[in-house]
Amino acid sequence: MSQSMLKIITPVGTSLFENYRKHEGSVIDAALKYLKEQKGGEEYDLPACRYPSVKDYLDRIVRKVKPWMAGRDNASAEITSVLKIQKEIKGRYGEEAELEVYLLASDTVSSVLAAELLAAEFQQRSIKAYFTREQHYVIEHLQVHNGVAFQKEGLSNLISAVEKIAGGYYGNLIFNITGGYKATIPYLSIFAQVSSIPIYYIFEDEETLLSIPPAPVGLNWELFERYSNLLEKVAKGIDMSIPEIKKSYGIPYENTDLDMLFFEIRDEHKSHTSLSPLGEFFWKKYRAPLVYVLKQGGYSRASIDEKRSLEKAVNDLFTRLRQLCSKKSDFDFLKDEDIKHVKIGRDCWVFKFTAPQVRVLYRLNWVDETRFALMILDHYFILSKADDKQYGERFQSFYKANQAVLEDKGNYVPLMLRI
């Protein structure tokens, strides 16, 4: 994990209000009841879009809860867990380690209000926290009253929000799954394992911080390659049940390899199958360029603008390599002054990109004779004539000092290019 800026993604529940009621009694109960509505004899949380219509009641809750929670470490599950994660990270990486908290609210007014209060409290504690109702921090359709909308749209929107926060780089993410809907935990856990993201949570009411480190879990690329035509169709939606799909494509019924990737909706007359939220994520990963960056390399420390510039260069490099090298021997005999601008060490090369001027140190790891993974080791922006003369020497020094690190595939994380 990168030791620079760490992003803690924290789903938000309503433990803040529950804890307030435990300590202060029914003071806010009259206002809280307006955050619910009755439908068909059952009580439902108001959807987030109804926030403006109950603003007066929300203000009443804020006036009571905000002063009560100030400086109170156990005011909510989110506060308790973030503070413990902060202590854990600073103990591991030193006091200079920086944290950012990204609060994700469910599609309910109560979760949105809790997230707003938590963001303000974290800022008071000098912890950078991000939440706004106007952006992707409110996860539309993430609610528990419509299972189909939750699974197909809510979870898909949740994963999309995580991807936006990550910005294509997952090496500095942490999942804090203490708060929010427990139904999201299995999906976030699988997402985290595949993307090498550590998970933290508080165990029940014991306030013990537990962690699940990333496991060496990867995608079964052969499965995706074998059924790529089928997955392409299912991604667009297909009016067949999962058993019908298996029968049509000669897949044994007892073979469940693909089941997790599919989402089926049935009614009295027909079935419709599309990709599940995890299926969409895996399919996107499969179709994305096989590009990896060094966990603690230059990319993790780059600014947003620098990352975009670097991604532009990497995308150009990958595209050109894919066009020019259909097999390993093509690269061995390739003569291209930009792609093979300078050789570093045994098998690393510098790519010269000119819009903007940046030099990229990379190597290719061949999966087989026709497929490769592009490993980005370092980069150097050319801002002056002096820079243009120094980058070769810098890359040589970097390579010599980090050969063992560069050889270990466990030190890399996927880079999902925004293309």
- Which of 212, 246, 267 finishes a domain? 212
Residue 91 belongs to some domain of the structure? yes
Angle in degrees, 0-180, between the axes of helices 185-194 and 277-287, rounded to the nearest 10: 10
Asked if 176 and 103 count as a contact pair (C-beta separation under 8 A), the reply is no
Over residues 157-161, mean pLDDT: 92
- Which of 287, 306, 324 finishes a domain? 287
Tens of pLDDT, residue by residue over 165-208, are: 987 777 789 999 999 988 898 889 888 887 778 999 987 666 78
pLDDT greater at residue 229 or residue 70: 70
Per-residue pLDDT, 91 = 87
Per-residue pLDDT, 399 = 94
Q: How far apart are CA 318 and CA 320, in angstroms?
A: 6
Residue 370 belongs to some domain of the structure? yes
User: Is residue 418 pLDDT above 80, yes or no?
Assistant: no
With 0-12 / 13-18 / 19 or more C-beta atoms within 10 angstroms meaning exposed / middle / buried, residue 92 is exposed
- Of 65-74, 313-322, 355-364, the poorest mean pLDDT is in 313-322
Tens of pLDDT, residue by residue over 242-264, are: 999 999 989 888 888 788 889 88
> Which domain covers residue 398, as residue numbers?
291-414
- Which of 287, 319, 338 finishes a domain? 287
Q: Which of the given ranges, 121-130, 226-235, 255-264, 284-293, has the highest pLDDT on average?
A: 121-130
Angle in degrees, 0-180, between the axes of helices 277-287 and 155-166, rounded to the nearest 10: 40
Residue 343 belongs to some domain of the structure? yes
Give the torsion sign (CA, 142, 173, 195, 413): positive
Is the same domain home to 122 and 158? yes
For residues 349, 350, 353, 357, the Cα torsion angle rounded to the nearest 10 degrees is: 170
Tens of pLDDT, residue by residue over 137-149, are: 999 999 988 888 8
Is the same domain home to 109 and 61? yes
Residue 305 belongs to some domain of the structure? yes
Residue 114 belongs to some domain of the structure? yes
Residue 126 binned pLDDT confidence (cut-offs 50, 70, 90) = very high
Is the same domain home to 140 and 163? yes
Torsions phi, psi of 234, nearest 5?
Answer: -65, -35
Q: How far apart are CA 122 and CA 349, in angstroms?
A: 44
Residue 419 belongs to some domain of the structure? no
Per-residue pLDDT, 33 = 95
Give the torsion sign (CA, 390, 394, 395, 397): positive
Q: How many domains does the chain have?
A: 3
Q: How far apart are CA 169 and CA 272, in angstroms?
A: 34
How many other C-beta atoms can be found within 10 angstroms of the C-beta atom of residue 14? 20
Is the same domain home to 404 and 315? yes
User: What CATH number is given to the structural domain containing 265?
Assistant: 1.10.10
For residue 356, whether the previous peptide bond is cis, meaning omega lies within 30 degrees of 0, is: yes
Is the same domain home to 256 and 113? no
Is the same domain home to 279 and 227? yes
Is the same domain home to 129 and 208? yes
Tens of pLDDT, residue by residue over 91-105, are: 887 888 889 999 999
- Average pLDDT of the chain is 88
Per-residue pLDDT, 2 = 42
Is the same domain home to 197 and 241? no
Is the same domain home to 277 and 381? no
Asked if 335 and 388 count as a contact pair (C-beta separation under 8 A), the reply is no
